[in-house]
Amino acid sequence: MKYALGPILYYWPKQQVEDFYAAAVNSDADIIYLGETVCSKRRELKPKDWLGLAKEIADSGKQVVISTMALLEAPSEVNILRKYCENGDFIVEANDFGAINLLAEAKTPFVCGHALNVYNAQVLQILVNKGMQRWVMPVELSRDWLVQLQEDSRILNIRDQFEIEVFAHGHLPLAYSARCFTARSENKAKDDCELCCINHANGKPVYSQDDKELFTINGIQTMSGYKYNLLNDVASMQDLVDVVRVSPLGDSAFTTLGQFKQAAEDNVKFDLQLDRECNGYWHQIAGFDTVNT
């Protein structure tokens, strides 16, 4: 089992990002994803900053992957995407089929991100032929789904040609919109958002009228209210999952990575916060539910 730090999904000040990755090189992560995946207006770090950071981290011996945007609309966004796809040094996480088109043309190997609609092994076969090395399962899918998909990929003789990664900790990215919900919640227009996401290091909570933490708004992204936490499900990932992903919520990500390692290697169990955490998707029930394992 390998351990990955997903890209920072929130908008952090540049110094905080740099400090985070300075610490990440000494963490339990084998793989580090980095880059802006949510909103092209978040420019604390510019493409050259991200690529510079990537080079520094790569020197530490960890695998670095450049993550790219999930919702690309403006031609300017596609131009930045093209720059990353043609970077020449690092593999790229594609979160839109536009990225796969560019990566296949540039013959750059890639990771197929969880924001892409890949629900069966036949699609994976097509993507393997285009240079896919790793697939991050869409967050709404379950262990049962993965077991059957793995079986199909064996029949297609492609299982040894790619790794399977599972989003295992953090707020789940659930939807992408043209609308910026964070700006809307502060009565700002999207075009005049004052980059207000920077004030919310882990997004803004959305509660039901009876105070259940339903969603987290993060710019144009809507995320789960609860944190997804598969710590106690790691045992059920043996022989099925190659990489476990922790989505950074801050420096606590490094502790979480260590816990995943303990859970996998020493079969240690952890107490979940039932009113703040969930693991339903993995168990093929509603995502916000929790199964005690």
**Residue 73 CB, nearest approach to other proteins (Å):** 5
**Residue 183 CB, nearest approach to other proteins (Å):** 9
Nearer to other proteins, 144 or 265 (CB): 144
Helix (H) or strand (E) holding 206: strand 204-207
Nearer to other proteins, 27 or 108 (CB): 108
Query: Helix, strand or coil for residue 200?
Result: coil
Nearer to other proteins, 190 or 261 (CB): 190
Nearer to other proteins, 22 or 286 (CB): 286
Do the beta carbons of residue 255 and residue 263 sit within 8 Å?
no
**Residue 80 CB, nearest approach to other proteins (Å):** 12
- Cα-Cα-Cα-Cα torsion 217, 218, 222, 224, nearest 10 degrees, comes to -70
**In the 8-state DSSP scheme, what is residue 114?**
T
Residue whose entry in the numeric block shows the structure tokens 């090189």:
25
**Residue 47 CB, nearest approach to other proteins (Å):** 17
**Residue 126 CB, nearest approach to other proteins (Å):** 6
Nearer to other proteins, 177 or 255 (CB): 177
**Residue 159 CB, nearest approach to other proteins (Å):** 13
Nearer to other proteins, 217 or 249 (CB): 217
**Residue 132 backbone phi and psi in degrees, to 5:** -70, 130
Give the span between the Cα atoms of 106 and 88, in whole angstroms.
9
Give the span between the Cα atoms of 270 and 274, in whole angstroms.
12
Give the up-direction half-sphere exposure of residue 22: CA atoms within 13 A in the CB hemisphere.
Answer: 6
Nearer to other proteins, 255 or 284 (CB): 284
**Residue 19 CB, nearest approach to other proteins (Å):** 28
**In the 8-state DSSP scheme, what is residue 137?**
P
166 closest CA partner among 237, 95, 266, 235 = 237
Give the C-alpha distances (Å, rounded to integers) separating 8 from 51, 140, 249: 15, 20, 8
Name the burial class of residue 97, with classes exposed (0-12), middle (13-18) and buried (19+) by CB atoms within 10 angstroms of its CB.
middle
